[in-house]
Every structure is written in structure tokens, then in C-alpha cells.
Structure 1
């Protein structure tokens, strides 16, 4: 019974994450996301000065893009039991597709920097999941 409950919780969390991703990447949030990166920059540069001198607001945007795709890589390895390299590749291609859609049809600016950052996030998530999930663990 616990396995079925855990599976339902994982499915609900996955659905919420996908819905959140769709809202985030498809919505007109570009200006607010830029404000967020500037706020993070000023927070860690001046209010809580722990950031290195070379860190610029763009770097916080890259970091947010990395963090956005860590769960994707982790889920593809942990849940789908895909190899880390396959999960990273699929997530990077999905990121590229998102950026193309943003560039062509949405009021957003698609960027290859975002694709690289998302791919790095997927790689980190896949690597972390690979460390936690045994490669020979049976699929349920």
C-alpha cells in the first residue's frame, strides 16, 4: 500500500512541476524574471555580500536556469531509470524546443545560453540521481 501512495505523491509532484514549468516558460514573465535576477544580484552583492566580485545579474539568470532543470534530469534518471547521458540529452533538446517556441511564438526572448544552463542543470540532476539510485534497482 505504501508503494501506491508514494507513486501517487510522486505523480502529483511531477504534474505540479510540469504545470509550473509550462506557466513559467509560456507566460509573459520576462520583465519580472529580469527584476528577480537584479534583486538577487543586489541581495548577494550588497545586502548579504557573499557573491564574488565578478558575479553579474546575468549570472543569477543562468543559475536560475540551471536550478530549473535539476529536477528534470533527476526525475528522468530516478523515475524513468534512463542513463544519465540520455536524460541530459533529452532535457537539453526539450530546453532547446522551449527556447525556439519562446523565440518564434511567445512574447519572450529565446536564448542558447538558457539551453546550455538548462542542460547543465539536467546533467547535475541526473548525476545526483545516479548517485542515489542504484543502477541495478528494479523498476516497480
Structure 2
């Protein structure tokens, strides 16, 4: 099982966990496919850690897990779609909440003004009552 990740990008994530030795004699780290639109999002693999250096890389690649079934891919896509809808819903609700907060602040200000006017009116009436006695 993976512990904490040490490297992230949009396409893959490197895990700090056991690896396998490959052509270079170095331990290949375990990576996770992160790129959307791939056939195997989230699937882990072992790959040469020197892949960015054309002179040093050995092109080692091996899947760490079996290939996803078509059903698993369908479930993953369905869950991603549901997540996207939920994210959109959260954004919409967040906008609604922001509008409601602004309306609430305005109503509180209006209430404060009305209470102040009411207090002033009560004071005037009280003085008029005292003068009328």
C-alpha cells in the first residue's frame, strides 16, 4: 500500500513505497496514472525514475496492477461524472449562500435603522406625554 506521495504532476503521482529493480539496476518507484482521459486513471505502475533524461533512462515500464475491466472503467467514468455534477452543485449553492449572506446583511442594516427610528419615536412620544400632563 502506498504511504505519502513524494512527487505529483497532472499525469502521474510517485509513491514512496517498495519498487522493483529494473534494467538500470535502480529500484523503480511506483507511480499512479493521474491524467484524465486515459484508459486507466488511478492505475499504478513501475517506471524508470530517470525518464526525463534521454541518456540515463532505460524505458523500464511495468504495470503494478492488473488492467481494469470494462465494467470498472464504466463505474469510474460514472463516478467522475457524478463528482463533476456535485462540484457544480456546490458552486451553485455557494453562490446562492453568498447572495443570501449579502441579503441578510442588508436586512440587518435595515432592522438597525428601523430600531433606531422606533427608539427615537418612542422618546419623542414619551416627552410629548410628559409635556401633556
Q: TM range, normalised to the smaller chain? A: under 0.3
User: Whose radius of gyration is greater, 1 or 2?
Assistant: 2
Q: TM-score, normalised by structure 2?
A: 0.24
Higher normalized helix content (fraction of residues): 1
Q: TM-score, normalised by structure 1?
A: 0.23
Higher normalized strand content (fraction of residues): 2
* Higher relative contact order (Cα pairs below 8 Å, separated by 6+ residues): 1
